[in-house]
Amino acid sequence: AHLDRIAAVDQEVHAFLHVDADGALAAARRVDEERAAGNTTSPLAGVPLALKDVLTTTDMPTTCGSKMLEGWVPPYDATVTRRLREAGVVILGKTNMDEFAMGSSTENSAYGPTRNPWDLERIPGGSGGGSSAALAAFEAPLAIGTDTGGSIRQPGAVTGTVGVKPTYGGVSRYGLVAFSSSLDQPGPCARTVLDAALLHEVIAGHDPMDSTSINQPVPQVVAAAEQGASGGLQGVRVGVVRELSGDGYQPGVQRAFDAAVKQLSALGAEVIEVSCPHFTYALPAYYLIAPSECSSNLARFDAMRYGLRVGDDGARSAEEVMSLTREAGFGPEVKRRIMLGTYALSSGYYDAYYGQAQKVRTLITRDFTAAFEQVDVLVSPTTPTTAFKIGERVDDPMAMYLADLCTIPSNLAGNAAMSVPCGLSDEDGLPVGLQIMAPAMADEWLYRVGAAYE
Ligand code: GLN
């Protein structure tokens, strides 16, 4: 049914870069055989899923939305991919994304943008717009995204779907093509909080192949979602972040958010206002740290090992081939980040830029620590505006970067955050997201509050 749906709508939506119909049907048949043989299967066995094209797969290309990796089929599965397969999840295909996960609209994909199923003239968010659009268009009931600065939550918000950035280290990054290693985190995308929880438990857990993977039991998020759905929020303390509202927030978004806060309180939560003064500096700190790590990580695309190779005519030096390949293979946003990051890491500038940004990062983490002494979760709008029009921000990187104003603090601190649908804006009728943030390794709180609210 999902393959039929993809065939019917994906021409327009363009959520997928690659669909593996044969592979999906074969995986589904294997689950049927297991069941027929009386073997126990996991709760998600046979359920189809859309996988962001930044996680490696041995049976499908992994392009990261870039010409640099066009047609590249990796020699190994990401840990997330492997765990999905082991749970019997049926991978339908790979979803579109901003090149190397840099962007907030999927317009930076080398293969053309994804369209928002709510309004095909609008962006589905990014970088994981393909995964969220696939859910919103009913092309898949589950998807995987990755979140470095908001790429799971912001697409979730603007497509009316659920997206979770687990605690940093909660889900393995092995086989996730690196953008900014200290921030990148894979996570579940779904249409309901409980679906996201079921997927979360399949992909999470310690992995010796990822040195930053946390060696602790997986948070019991399914039980937390069930508790929230049936039990209300009596005694739960919810903090509204004062700094994440005001100028730049669409009135329709603000009103939907205010209504959500009222509902949390009606569910029994104790709501208080909390100040996180350094959140104002999160965006500039992120746009030094993320490009710095990107400039280092993307050095591997050197035209020698794998991927695109341009100008290898036997007469050119390796350095010339490398230069021609990087010129042709990377899009403008990726080049901008490599240049910014290389500059920020240069000798003489390191302390002034990268070092300074790391100090700001510590201050933001301390803001969270202080806030979580007062409350169990923090809430804010997920993103300041609803889905904007395709093309509207492509020539204005600063305007594009503002989409992640509210999501970036949790990446810098490494804690857990979710976006859950919060109705439609009364201005334009488009979906709004409620962001819920919880302390590191307390992902259960997201699911309890999200399921009670939804
Ligand atoms: N939009 C942000 C950026 O461009 C976040 C991207 C992400 O989370 N991968 O970097």
In a domain, 239, yes or no: yes
What is the percent of the chain where pLDDT is above 70? 100
Q: Would you say 176 and 146 are in contact if contact means Cβ atoms under 8 Å apart? A: yes
- pLDDT confidence band for 41 (50 / 70 / 90): confident
Active site residues: 52, 127, 151
**Probe residue for ligand 1, chosen from 52, 293, 401, 404 as the CB with the greatest number of ligand atoms within 8 Å:** 404
103 C-alpha to center of ligand 1: Å?
Answer: 5
Nearest CA among 47, 50, 48 for reference residue 16: 50
Nearest CA to ligand 1 atom 10: 102
Answer yes or no: is 307 within a domain.
no
Number of domains in the chain: 1
* Residue (of 399, 436, 403, 441) closest to 128 by Cα position: 403
Q: ipTM above 0.95?
A: yes
pTM, whole model, 2 decimals?
0.98
Residue 340 located in a structural domain: no
Three-state SS across the chain? CHHHHHHHHHHHHCCEEEECHHHHHHHHHHHHHHHHCCCCCCCCCCCEEEEECCECCCCCCCCCCCHHHCCCCCCCCCHHHHHHHHCCCEEEEEECCCHHHCCCCCCCCCCCCCCECCECCECCCCCCHHHHHHHHCCCCCEEEEECCCCCCHHHHHHHCCEEEECCCCCECCCCECCCCCCCCCEEEEECCHHHHHHHHHHHECCCCCCCCCCCCCCCCHHHHHHHHHHHCCCCCEEEEECCCCCCCCCHHHHHHHHHHHHHHHHCCCEEEEECCHHHHHHHHHHHHHHHHHHHHHHHHCCCCCCCCCCCCCCCCCHHHHHHHHHHHHCCHHHHHHHHHHHHHHCCCCCHHHHHHHHHHHHHHHHHHHHHHHHCCEEEEECCCCCCCECCCCCCCHHHHHHHHCCCHHHHHHCCEEEEEEEEECCCCCCEEEEEEEECCCCCHHHHHHHHHHC
Nearest to 79 by CA among 170, 195, 15, 163: 170
The interaxial angle of helices 2-13 and 21-36, nearest 10 deg, is: 160
Atom of ligand 1 nearest to the CA of 103: 4
Range(s) of the domain holding residue 375: 2-281+358-453
Q: What pLDDT digit, counting tens, does each position of 409-420 carry?
A: 999 999 999 999
Whether 113 shows a pLDDT value over 90: the answer reads yes
Residue at 339 is within a domain: no
How far is ligand 1, taken at its centre, from the CA of residue 400, in Å?
10
337 within some domain:
no
> Using a 6 Å CB cutoff, which residues line ligand 1?
101-104, 127, 147-151, 179, 290, 404
pLDDT beyond 90 at 347: no
**Closest ligand 1 atom, CA of 287?**
10
- Does residue 435 belong to any structural domain of this protein? yes
- Please state, rounded to an integer, the average pLDDT across all residues of the chain: 97
Cα 275 to ligand 1 centre (Å): 25
* Ligand 1 pocket test target in 100, 102, 105 with most atoms within 8 Å of CB: 102
Ligand 1 atom with least separation from CA of 147: 8
How many residues does the structure list for the chain? 454
Give the per-residue pLDDT at 367.
98
Terminal-residue alpha carbon distance, the chain = 26
Contact at 8 Å (CB) between 44 and 85?
no
The CATH number of residue 437's host domain is 3.90.1300.10
Q: Which atom of ligand 1 is nearest to the CA of 126?
A: 1
* Span 287-296, pLDDT tens digits: 999 999 999 9
Distance 52 CA to ligand 1 centre (A): 14
Residue 322 lies in a domain: no
Q: What is the model's pLDDT at position 350?
A: 87
Question: Binning pLDDT at 50, 70 and 90, where does residue 314 land?
Answer: very high
Q: Is the pLDDT of residue 103 over 90?
A: yes
Q: Which of 55, 96, 109, 127 to mutate to test the pocket of ligand 1 (most atoms within 8 A of CB)?
A: 127
- Which pair of tokens denotes residue 121? 């003239």
Residue 255 within a domain = yes
Closest ligand 1 atom to 151 CA: 8
Report the separation in Å between the CA atom of 187 and the middle of ligand 1, taken as the mean of its atom positions.
14
160 CA distance to ligand 1 middle (Å)? 19
C-alpha 175 to ligand 1 mean position (Å) = 18
Task: Classify the phi-psi angles of 61: left when phi > 0, otherwise alpha if psi is within -120 to 50, otherwise beta.
Answer: beta
Query: Tens of pLDDT along 153-206?
Result: 999 999 999 999 999 999 999 999 999 999 999 999 999 999 999 999 999 999
40 has pLDDT over 90: no
